[in-house]
Structure 1
């Protein structure tokens, strides 16, 4: 237990060391302290000499220990996560957004800005929306577009709708298997973007308990060495994609070539690109699909 620890830097140092000892990410300490103090990152570091109120210290210590001992994500303890400069609610029904997905958003926006200039009524579909972070971010960054989002999980869609309402994002949410609800309504998309489940079941035991015990399996795992979702979405594309529409996927860092081949086999005239993340790992596949 922390005793007579008053200053923010002392509290943060204790938590960081405690988490490191328990093989947890040390930056979780900073996230939790910001949360319980109700401050920004800049404010936290500017006030390191400030005392921590006893009640806040007790809440913080309880959360740090709970995270270290059970693996429960700090985002679940806080009830939200930060993504692309915005705060999104999360719970056990949705995948906690990863930083790599911000890069998928960046590439999607870069592409869409060129499209919107000549085609203001551009339609976007986010497949497997989860908490809604991709659809909501694109809708807010490019408000002239029309955005649809799908998920097979009703609980995930409830969370996505809550986030969309909090941010004032105009999105049509549809429940169903990947692109099926879009095809059923005869909607045509200029861009289909997706961060589908792509982890092979054989990799489950190698994941941290924070991921395997708390992220929904439906959003994590796929058959066929993690490629099943890509195959199904690509199979559904002809019914939904515009004549020269684009598809952008987030992928596992070893799946670039395999996903490229699935696209080329379905659409021989397409020329998929594998894009790397900030760490130099294959992380996205982008393809202009010529039907």
Structure 2
């Protein structure tokens, strides 16, 4: 079968299951190392038996509910492709907005930001992206999951960045060493157990629960982390955290309690939902 025939057949099946119609193209592009334009110039090409078998396997896994990012072990984030496995969350577009906010602050205040920490780093998308953009900064990522840190280290190597990754329960390690940072970012677990019923099996069956759920209506990690942060920042600092869209006022209050002299703001994402809390002085 030609690529065109395979795509035509696959799109019919995707449509029947009400799934993303671009998935077949994404699978073929990734497995064959093609750009989208190269794919469209190759539609008369026939896949080899092994290529067709690989496509059939990948496609069946997707139809059966597995995220395509885990099938292909790659996910885009902020213009780069990251290695991902079920040990880490799949990068979300909302997290790109947190990185963008951090980038804009660094660009305006380059002398203020030399030491950056990303807490709950997962696959390392945030610190690696910032290190690639600001190589002069000392960038660290931390996570409680050793499996996630293995993935982050592989991305560090693949993308030729020099991020330091540390195994730590939130910022315990840095409190013990006495290290301080100018900028801290975090996208911690913030989903409440009560939200399970609203979530798709696509997420629940495949993404790591450790990176998704937190007690106290999803607020427990924020509360503990924000209590610890005054110990690891200098007099001038910028802290940005991604939040669930209902959590803005609660997280803002945690910051106001720990940093009574600082400016604390809730920022919305591109869809107009509360998505970040920024604390700086």
Task: Give TM-score scaled by structure 2 length.
Answer: 0.92
- Whether 1:278 and 2:270 are equivalent positions in the alignment is yes
* Structure 1: distance between partners of 2:128 and 2:72: 21
Matched, 1:68 2:63: yes
Is 2:196 aligned against 1:200? no
**Cα distance change on mapping 1:215 and 1:178 into 2, 3 Å:** same
Residues 1:211 and 2:207 aligned together: no
Q: Please report how far the alpha carbon of residue 240 of structure 1 lies from its aligned counterpart in structure 2 after TM superposition.
A: 0.5
Range that drifts further, 71-80 or 272-281:
272-281
* TM-score when normalising by structure 1: 0.89
What per-residue deviation string (whole Å, max 9, x for no partner) do you get for residues 100-131 of structure 1?
A: 21121111111112222x24x61000001111
Residues in 1 aligned to 2:268 and 2:25: alpha-carbon distance in whole angstroms: 28
Judged with a 3 Å threshold, the aligned counterparts in structure 2 of structure 1 residues 263 and 205 are, in CA distance, closer, same or farther, namely: same
For the pair 1:98 / 2:92, whether they are aligned, the reply is: yes
Cα RMSD for the two superposed structures: 1.9
Instruction: Give distance in 1, aligned partners of 2:244 and 2:15.
Output: 27
Secondary structure of 1:12's match?
A: helix
- 1:72 offset after TM fit, Å? 1.6
C-alpha distance in 1, partners of 2:7/2:278?
Answer: 41
Q: Deviations over 1:110-165 (max 9, x none)?
A: 1112222x24x610000011111111111111001011111001111111111111
* Count of aligned pairs between the two proteins: 281
- Unmatched segments (≥5 aa) in structure 2: none
**Structure 1 match to 2:171:** 179
Gaps of at least 5 residues in structure 1 are none
**Shift of residue 58 of structure 1?**
3.1
Deviation track 1:38-95 (CA, whole Å, cap 9, x = no partner) reads 21123224444544444423321221121111x2211111122122222211112111
Q: Is the 8 A contact 1:178 1:233 kept in 2?
A: yes
CA-to-partner distance for each residue in 1:157-181, whole Å, 9 max, x for gaps?
1111111112221122111111111
Task: Name the counterpart of 2:21.
Answer: 26
Equivalent residue, structure 2, for 1:6 = 2
